[in-house]
DNA sequence: GACATAAAATACCGGATAGTATAAAAATGA
DNA sequence: TCATTTTTATACTATCCGGTATTTTATGTC
């Protein structure tokens, strides 16, 4: 199906571009903090009126939920790609460290982690999506570590679940520190130290 | 000097107890989140009027700053005691792990870490005090680790400053997880894993 | 051109916020 | 008793918030 059956275009043609609005919202939430960006501010930045935004997204919760969806598709998916690439334990950890410490997209932190940190301030839909993504992330970390364990590359006395949670929290910590302006080299040093527990001789 | 020279008590005697108000404010900020507690709510909880509060503390910034001071005196000081006790590396780390993982006072997190996480939402005075405490904490961690290094108890290839920052962030992470209802046993497991980098064979 | 339709723009609503002006109350000193 | 002083209590301001009712504008159809 093409865009042709979008409708007969009765009535005043819309000037609002939902994709562009979503881009503005995602970037604003991401660059500053979801709790510090008002619907009014997003309307102003996107050059649209409030009723237009509410007709498209229904509520602030609907907008932030849609912005988070977009973020998951465009940005977060890359972390899942790294985890599912099937590289070895050391190689994958190194790639994760690179991503968290030096990827320019994480320079202002991660929208998902920011939302998770301020979970109680989110609307119900957005919060539910945050928890969904959190669970998916944890499952991906666990699957990755389970594969490493199956390959015999695993320290004694550590469960895969605990390792997965630990790995996820260390990545989150590193990226959160990026947002607060910490020196990337220092972040890399600390994250490398934290993840060295997986690759002990 | 005793309390006797507090003044001749001209005028209507005050019913407001500043200490009690500060206690209410500190607990409220601490138990929920500094950004989610309004001046109005504190007045209501403390049973005082807004003008009384503003006469005593000047502004919301003054109040939160005073509450943080009180918290530093009453709670945070204990962490400094642990660090300055002069116990060995392993013993001190174990005590820190106990404190972060199981001390009932940290069950709802740490007011200082909550303020630090939402630093940009604080007034100038409170923010300055947060940065001051942060620097003092880092210095205390560094002094503690330097002593361990002098005692020969130190892993190769790690600077004291990086170790101090790492240690501080791991403690902060653990206590922040307490606030989000994470299982203390799991928190202990992860924190122990994170700090095991200091005590490798 | 008249009409229906759908979107946009403006202005508004109720509620919460930090902060304050003003008046009432309760004590002392004369 | 009356004035002075200090604190309390009430009521108010200005601003921002999420959300919406209302009007205006731009199109296609007849």
- Domain hosting B127: range is 14-198
Closest CA to A194 of B116, B174, B142, B90: B174
pLDDT for position A1: 36
Q: What is the mean pLDDT of residues A124-147?
A: 98
- Which among A197, A198, A199, A201 is the top mutation candidate for probing chain B, defined by the most B β-carbons within 10 Å of its own β-carbon? A197
Chain B residue numbers touching A141 (CB-CB < 8 A)? none
pLDDT above 60: residue B106: yes
Separation between Cα atoms, residue B143 and residue B167, nearest integer Å:
12
Counting residues of chain A whose pLDDT is more than 90, the rounded percentage is 90
Q: Quick check: is B1 in a domain?
A: no
Residue with CA nearest C1' of nucleotide C26 = B12
pLDDT above 80: residue A147: yes
Residues 6+ apart with CB under 8 A from B184: B101, B102, B178
| B158/chain A closest Cα distance in angstroms | 9
Closest CA to B145 of A5, A144, A166, A193: A193
Query: Is the Cβ atom of A45 within 7 Å of strand D at any atom?
Result: no
User: CB burial class (10 A; 0-12, 13-18, 19+) of residue A5?
Assistant: exposed
pLDDT above 60: residue B121: yes
User: CB burial class (10 A; 0-12, 13-18, 19+) of residue B32?
Assistant: middle
Q: Do B189 and A35 touch (CB under 8 A)?
A: no
Residue B147: pLDDT band (50, 70, 90) is: very high
How many other C-beta atoms are found inside a 10 Å radius of the C-beta of residue A130?
21
- A190: domain CATH number is 1.10.357.10
Of the CA atoms within 13 Å of residue A59, those in its CB half-sphere come to 8
Q: Do B177 and A169 touch (CB under 8 A)?
A: yes
Q: What is the mean pLDDT of residues A142-153?
A: 92
Scanning every residue of chain B, which has its alpha carbon at the shortest distance from the alpha carbon of A183?
B162
- Please name the residues between 47 and 86 in chain A that touch chain B, using a CB distance below 8 Å: none
Q: Quick check: is B5 in a domain?
A: no
Mean pLDDT of chain B: 94
Q: Cα A187 vs. chain centroid, distance in angstroms?
A: 19
pLDDT for position A29: 98
Q: Quick check: is B4 in a domain?
A: no
Q: Is the backbone of residue A85 left (phi > 0), alpha (psi -120 to 50) or beta?
A: alpha
At a 7 A CB cut-off, the residues bordering strand C are A 10-16, 48-52, 55; B 8-13, 38-41, 50-51, 54, 59-61
Q: Quick check: is A25 in a domain?
A: yes
| A69/chain B closest Cα distance in angstroms | 24
Q: Quick check: is A7 in a domain?
A: no
Taking the CA of residue A2 and the C1' sugar atom of nucleotide C2, their distance in angstroms comes to 34
Query: Is the Cβ atom of A61 within 7 Å of strand D at any atom?
Result: yes
Of the candidate ranges A43-57, A100-114, A140-154, the one whose mean pLDDT is the lowest: A140-154
Residues comprising chain B, all counted:
201
pLDDT for position A201: 67
pLDDT for position A157: 86
Mean pLDDT of chain A: 94
Protein-covered nucleotides of chain C (CB closer than 7 Å) are 4-11, 16-22, 24-29
Of the CA atoms within 13 Å of residue A186, those in its CB half-sphere come to 15
Separation between Cα atoms, residue A192 and residue A46, nearest integer Å:
40
pLDDT for position B201: 67
Q: Are B42 and B24 contacting, i.e. CB atoms less than 8 angstroms apart?
A: yes
Residue A2: pLDDT band (50, 70, 90) is: very low
Separation between Cα atoms, residue A109 and residue B147, nearest integer Å:
35
pLDDT in tens, B53-97: 999 999 999 999 999 999 999 999 999 999 999 999 999 999 999
Scanning every residue of chain A, which has its alpha carbon at the shortest distance from the alpha carbon of B167?
A190
Separation between Cα atoms, residue A159 and residue B20, nearest integer Å:
47
Protein-covered nucleotides of chain D (CB closer than 7 Å) are 4-11, 16-22, 25-29
Q: Do A190 and B169 touch (CB under 8 A)?
A: yes
How many other C-beta atoms are found inside a 10 Å radius of the C-beta of residue A195?
22
Q: Do B162 and A196 touch (CB under 8 A)?
A: no
Residue A124: pLDDT band (50, 70, 90) is: very high
Closest CA to B161 of B141, B147, B132: B141
Q: Are B40 and B53 contacting, i.e. CB atoms less than 8 angstroms apart?
A: no
| A173/chain B closest Cα distance in angstroms | 8
Residue A153: pLDDT band (50, 70, 90) is: confident
Name the residue among B169, B193, B197 with its Cβ closest to that of A173.
B169
Q: What is the mean pLDDT of residues A115-133?
A: 98
- State the distance between the two ends of chain B, measured CA to CA, in whole angstroms: 57
Q: Do B193 and A165 touch (CB under 8 A)?
A: no
Chain A residue numbers touching B194 (CB-CB < 8 A)? 166, 170, 194, 197
Q: Are B106 and B176 contacting, i.e. CB atoms less than 8 angstroms apart?
A: no
Q: Quick check: is A107 in a domain?
A: yes
Q: Quick check: is B161 in a domain?
A: yes
pLDDT in tens, B32-60: 999 999 999 999 999 999 999 999 999 99
Number of independent structural domains in chain A: 1
Q: Quick check: is A1 in a domain?
A: no
pLDDT for position A7: 47
Higher pLDDT, A154 or B52: B52
Q: Do A194 and B166 touch (CB under 8 A)?
A: yes
Separation between Cα atoms, residue A196 and residue A192, nearest integer Å:
6
Name the residue among B162, B190, B200 with its Cβ closest to that of A162.
B190
pLDDT above 70: residue A6: no
Q: Do B169 and A177 touch (CB under 8 A)?
A: yes
Any A CB within 8 A of B101 CB: no
pLDDT above 70: residue A5: no
pLDDT in tens, A57-66: 999 999 999 9
Q: What is the mean pLDDT of residues A159-180?
A: 97
């Amino acid at each position: 199906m093409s865009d042709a059956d979008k409708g007969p275009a009765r009535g005043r043609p819309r000037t609002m571009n939902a994709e562009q609005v979503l881009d503005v919202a995602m970037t604003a939430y991401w660059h500053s903090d979801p709790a510090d960006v008002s619907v009014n501010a997003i309307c102003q930045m996107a050059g649209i009126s409030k009723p237009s935004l509410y007709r498209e997204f229904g509520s602030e919760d609907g907008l932030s939920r849609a912005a988070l969806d977009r973020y998951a598709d465009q940005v977060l998916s890359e972390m899942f790609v790294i985890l599912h690439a099937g590289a070895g334990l050391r190689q994958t950890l190194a790639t994760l460290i690179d991503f968290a410490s030096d990827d320019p997209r994480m320079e202002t932190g991660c929208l998902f982690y920011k939302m998770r940190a301020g979970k109680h301030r989110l609307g119900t839909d957005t919060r539910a999506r945050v928890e969904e993504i959190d669970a998916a992330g944890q499952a991906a970390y666990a699957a990755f570590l389970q594969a490493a364990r199956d390959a015999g590359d695993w320290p004694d006395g550590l469960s895969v679940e605990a390792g997965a949670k630990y790995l996820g929290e260390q990545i989150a910590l590193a990226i959160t520190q990026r947002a607060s302006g910490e020196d990337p080299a220092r972040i890399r040093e600390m994250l490398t130290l934290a993840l060295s527990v997986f690759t002990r001789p």
